[in-house]
Structure 1
Amino acid sequence: MIYKVYYQKTKDRNPKREQTLSLYIEADNEERVHDLMRENTPFNVEYIQLLEGNHLTYEQENADFKLTEF
């Protein structure tokens, strides 16, 4: 399954919508995504969204779509 992770680059500041970034991860479940992010990044994860069906197709057509591998 493919997940879109919304995050802030640092945990030191309060989250600001204007500074929210995103990346895409393939994992078996949402818990595994949390584990991967915690083990491999210093990021503050805001939200993890499962992408499937038309939503996944739409995201894949975006020029910025690239699966992140750790």
Structure 2
Amino acid sequence: MIFKVFYQELANEVPVRERTQAMYVESETEREVRKKLAAKNLNIEYIQVLNEDHLAYEKQSEDFQVENV
């Protein structure tokens, strides 16, 4: 499955909407995504599983790239 992860780069600061970034991660479960990203010290706001239709929509974006973690 592909997950869309919304995060802030600075884990020790209060989240600010304008600084929220997103990345795409392939994994079996949300828990595995969190384990894979734990070393990056990110402030993860939300993890969303992408269904087939949503994934097809996201792939149309030029910024779409599945992270290799």
TM bracket (short chain): over 0.9
Partner residue, 1:58: 57
Partner residue, 1:30: 30
Q: State the distance in 2 between where 1:29 and 1:11 align.
A: 22
Partner residue, 1:48: 47
Structure 1: give runs of 5+ residues left out of the alignment. Answer: none
* TM-score, with structure 2 as normaliser: 0.95
Give the counterpart letter for 1:56 in structure 2. Answer: L
Structure 2: give runs of 5+ residues left out of the alignment. Answer: none
Q: Which runs of 4+ in 1 moved over 3 A?
A: none
* TM-score, with structure 1 as normaliser: 0.94
Give the % identical residues. Answer: 38
Root mean square deviation of aligned Cα = 0.7
Q: State the distance in 2 between where 1:14 and 1:44 align.
A: 9
Q: State the distance in 1 between where 2:35 and 2:41 align.
A: 12
Deviation at 1:44, TM superposition (A): 0.5
Partner residue, 1:21: 21
1:7 aligns with 2:10: no
